[in-house]
């Protein structure tokens, strides 16, 4: 595998001396679990970014472990709102300006999105997230990710095998 081409996210992290490890993979690899498999990483460390729509206001970026399923009811309860819905692929791309599979809170800094990370990440030192384009993920410290995205931890997911 050749070294990654520099994306805006990578340049931004470097300018702030935030350590990361970049991973490149085929752009037709879509799910976080498939990315983990291709990269030889534990699936529980590869997180996916989902766009969630509240009844009013700006969309939310919810980041959960690849093997998990988003629990909208649990998330709404944690955020103190009555209802939330997942954005369609088209809506997610229109709202973020990024392709599904490449949506990243790091590529959307200063764009007004509230960012929430599933509480499961508190058990990790590092996590792997999209670098803002399909085919590129990065590993960075959970603490660094939380600080730069101004994210909060939230109970947002359930084990996919336990989902109804």
What pLDDT, in 10s, does the model give residues 92-138? Answer: 999 999 999 899 999 999 899 999 999 999 999 999 999 999 999 99
Distance of CA 106 to the CA centre of its chain: 9
What mean pLDDT value characterizes the chain?
Answer: 91
pLDDT of residue 6: 77
- 13-67: per-residue pLDDT in tens? 999 999 999 999 887 877 888 889 999 999 999 999 999 999 988 999 999 999 9
Concatenate the DSSP letters of all residues of 102-120 into one string.
---GGGGTTTT-EEEEEGG
Q: Tell me the HSE value of 50 on the side-chain side, using a 13 A CA sphere.
A: 27
pLDDT of residue 31: 85
Residue 119 and residue 156: Cα distance in Å, rounded? Answer: 8
With a cut of 50, say whether residue 2 has pLDDT above it. Answer: no
Distances (CA, A) of 13 to 17, 118, 131: 6, 22, 10
Fold observed for domain 8-158: YbaK protein (3.90.960)
Element (H, E) at 10: helix 8-15
CB 138 within 8 Å of CB 129: yes
Domain boundaries, the chain: 8-158
Q: Which of 147, 162, 156 is nearest to 118 (CA)?
A: 156
């Amino acid at each position: 595998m050749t070294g990654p081409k520099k994306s805006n996210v990578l340049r931004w992290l470097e300018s702030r001396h935030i350590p990361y490890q970049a991973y490149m993979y085929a752009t037709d690899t879509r799910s976080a679990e498939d990315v983990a498999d291709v990269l030889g990483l534990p699936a529980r460390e590869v997180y996916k970014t989902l766009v969630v729509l509240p009844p009013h206001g700006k969309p939310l970026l919810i980041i959960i472990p690849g093997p998990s399923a988003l629990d909208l009811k649990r998330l709404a309860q944690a955020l103190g709102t009555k209802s939330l819905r997942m954005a369609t692929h088209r809506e997610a791309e229109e709202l973020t300006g990024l392709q599904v599979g490449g949506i990243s809170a790091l590529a959307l800094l200063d764009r007004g999105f509230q960012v929430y990370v599933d509480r499961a990440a508190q058990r990790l030192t590092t996590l792997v997230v999209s670098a803002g384009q399909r085919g590129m993920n990065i590993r960075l410290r959970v603490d660094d990710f939380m600080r730069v995205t101004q994210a909060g931890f939230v109970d947002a997911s359930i084990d996919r095998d336990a989902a109804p």
